[in-house]
Amino acid sequence: MNHPSAVMSASGSGQQKQSGVREQFSLEELAVVLSHFEIGTVESVQEYARGSRKAPKLLIASEQGRFLLKRRARGRDDPFKVAFTHAIQLHLANKQFPLPHLIGTKLDNNSMFQWRGQVYELFEYIPGQGFAHTAEASFDAGHTLALFHKLLADFTTQYQPPTGSYHAAQVIEQGLQMLQGNLLSAGGQDLRELGDCLAQSYGEASKAVEAEGIGRWPRRICHADWHPGNMLYRDNRVVAVIDYDSCRLLAPVVDVANGALQFSVIYGDGDVSTWPENIDEKRYLQFLAGYEEITILSEAEIRAIPWLMIEALIAEAVLPIAATGTFGKVEGVPFLHMVQRKLKWMQDNRKRLSDIASG
């Protein structure tokens, strides 16, 4: 399959839907888009109601197999940015990395199709299960991330890779300032202390990571969104990695630390005040052990990981709560108090976490 290009276009505009309602394909849209792909006789089409409501997906069964058709959400449909992520996926596919392969258009083998100002992608459909919260599944997630980094070491592209992450990010600091203002306006000494704690923790962690030398470490293309929701599993083994929209140029340890957090954090149901503050240390260790089966981390990187995990946890909570007052369906203030407890545990145990990772 050729590298993607941003050459196909047509006039017009996509149909807009009401906010909060999952967007859908029109019959005309579906007929036109599918006519540009060679997948044989279509046997069934059904909605695949997962992910963003602004990016409708359809599961299509044909005589050539099963496929996932996606229309890009507005704001995430810049053809050149899409082409950049496609170039990464095509590179990885050529090296047998586990991911859903892009299906090229039948006329020019383009990995995206553009029609009426919208961008469409067709992928092979890979069945799988979610993360089983086991040490084995965590190990394979770490191993797969190291493979991702290794296979992209020789990746070159005509597109300018984005940079920036949750580490020492101005947007996070702005979100913290906004959050502190919101908490102050809500009143109460405990809320002011909560906002100050989050801001101080983020600043302290950022400085500690800089002191370890992250600014001097080599950068390469990273996934930048390595979490269980972007993995498909079978029998505790990763069979597909999805969602490459956040890929960017970073020090790989930024990816590693976020993954270590995401695959070891312990959440719960119902009342967030009952969620445990500790991480699952076995899953944490196994994630890093899986990574180091391919790529050995330096002592400085290992010392930086707990600090980066603190930054990542704050960043994940602050931006949505500063913008909406909630984290998903959970009220923002109780969620932030839970985050504060987890932060304290990680701060108190950061040396032990580094020692665990060092073996």
Half-sphere exposure at residue 241, Cβ-oriented, CA atoms within 13 angstroms = 26
Last residue of some domain: 89, 124, 159?
Answer: 124
Residue 146 in tokens: 């190291």
pTM above 0.95, yes or no: no
Q: The domain that contains 36 carries what CATH number?
A: 3.30.200.20
Query: What range does the domain containing 31 cover?
Result: 27-124
Tell whether 3 is covered by a domain: no
Residues 144 and 258 in one domain: yes
Q: Is residue 228 part of a domain?
A: yes
Tracing tokens 């967007």 back to the chain, one arrives at 23
pLDDT at residue 240 in the model: 98
Q: Residue 270: what pLDDT?
A: 83
Query: What does the pLDDT read at residue 176?
Result: 96
Work out how many domains the chain is built from and give that number: 2
What's the average pLDDT block by block, 10 residues per block, for the chain (359 residues)? 33 39 95 97 95 94 97 95 97 98 97 97 97 98 98 93 96 94 81 94 98 97 97 98 96 98 93 96 98 98 98 96 91 95 97 92
Does residue 314 form part of some domain? yes
Please give the pLDDT value at position 183.
83
**9 lies in some domain:** no
Domain-terminating residue out of 91, 124, 157: 124
Tokens standing for 216? Answer: 């001097």
Integer CA distances (angstroms), 314 to 16, 167, 173, 249, in order: 34, 10, 10, 21
Read off the amino acid at residue 189. Answer: Q
pLDDT at res. 20:
67
How far apart CA 28 and CA 21 sit, in angstroms, is 20
